[in-house]
Amino acid sequence: MVRRTTTLGSPSHPPLVFLHGFLGRGRDWLPVAETFKDRFYCILPDLPGHGENTDFPFETQLDYDFFVDDLIATLGEFRKINLIGYSMGGRTALYFALKYPERVQTLVLESTSPGIEPEHARLERCTLDDRWAEKIRANGMAAFVEEWYNIPLFRSLHGQPELLDRIKAARCENSSAWMAKVIAELSPGRVPYLGNQLSELKMPLLLLAGGLDEKYASGLEGFGAAIPSSVASVVPDAGHTVHAERPREFIRLLEKFPGLQSSI
């Protein structure tokens, strides 16, 4: 594995890949991956532009094809994987599963949506994300992270101030130039809407959202209804970052997921 990837467990075990969200890095998943390292080979990459994964030209156009190609290069000889993705990492995982379904044994999507369909909403989101990008460039990571974690999506984290402080400190380690590029070029308003392709997914699929994350929890039923192979679960008293806010419950749901257990 390349330097930008954290791994746990033995390569002789089935691969279990964890994809982090915007501003994150692979090591965010360590508390969860520790539980599975004796049964799986846990692969925790930094996604492009994040952490140590910036050793490519800054002028590269970022899209999910690039993210997927980068993941394939990271996987090397592993041809079939169990894949877990959170938020932006969930969209990457979904894109990967649709593009290369034969390579995905099981799929877990946390706080993930298939994207934005209406054109007016796409344009509005592009404008919003471009403004965020300008704020990052103008004010730096510390100011941006402080404002970012005050938006309603992350309100539940304020009930765990020590966790929130750790998350914010880790997010500030990212490059402001790269984070501005990522949020602008991977805006949900600029990437493909995948909702019309969901019925193509045939692998066992677990959909997760936090009960306090109204946007994603309310969309879970419709998301799951389009995928016959899916199981959906809403975690009470958790917001957008279920795996960080309620790690024991997150792990319990993974351990109960028949698809993941059948791959061992």
Structure tokens, 253: 């749901």
Asked if pLDDT for residue 208 goes beyond 60, the answer is: yes
Type and span of the H or E element at 105: strand 104-110
Burial class (CB in 10 A: 0-12, 13-18, 19+), 66: middle
Quote the domain boundaries for residue 221: 5-117+192-262
Asked if pLDDT for residue 263 goes beyond 80, the answer is: no
CATH code assigned at 20: 3.40.50.1820
Question: Is 142 within the bounds of a domain?
Answer: no
Question: Is 70 within the bounds of a domain?
Answer: yes
pLDDT tens per residue across span 97-136: 999 999 999 999 999 999 999 999 999 999 999 999 999 9
* Residue 179 CB neighbour total at 10 angstroms: 23
Please state the domain count of the chain.
1
At residue 156, the 3 state secondary structure works out as: helix
Burial class (CB in 10 A: 0-12, 13-18, 19+), 262: exposed
Question: Is 37 within the bounds of a domain?
Answer: yes
Question: Is 141 within the bounds of a domain?
Answer: no
Question: Is 235 within the bounds of a domain?
Answer: yes
Rounded Cα distance between 182 and 185, Å, is 5
Mean of the per-residue pLDDT values of the chain: 95
pLDDT for the residue numbered 222: 87
pLDDT for the residue numbered 221: 85
Q: Are 27 and 44 in contact (CB under 8 A)?
A: yes
Question: Is 241 within the bounds of a domain?
Answer: yes
pLDDT tens per residue across span 164-200: 999 999 999 999 999 999 999 999 999 999 999 999 9
Residue 260's pLDDT band (cuts 50, 70, 90) = confident
Q: Are 46 and 25 in contact (CB under 8 A)?
A: yes
Asked if pLDDT for residue 264 goes beyond 70, the answer is: no
pLDDT tens per residue across span 35-63: 999 999 999 999 999 999 999 999 999 99
pLDDT for the residue numbered 3: 56
- What does pTM read for this prediction? 0.97
* Residues of the chain above pLDDT 90, percent: 92
Q: Which tops the pLDDT comparison, 4 or 78?
A: 78
pLDDT for the residue numbered 1: 46
Give the C-alpha distances (Å, rounded to integers) separating 32 from 17, 43, 82, 249.
12, 12, 14, 11
Alpha helices of the chain — where are they, by DSSP H? Answer: 30-36, 64-75, 88-99, 119-148, 161-171, 176-185, 214-225, 242-245, 247-256, 258-262
Question: Is 88 within the bounds of a domain?
Answer: yes
Question: Is 152 within the bounds of a domain?
Answer: no
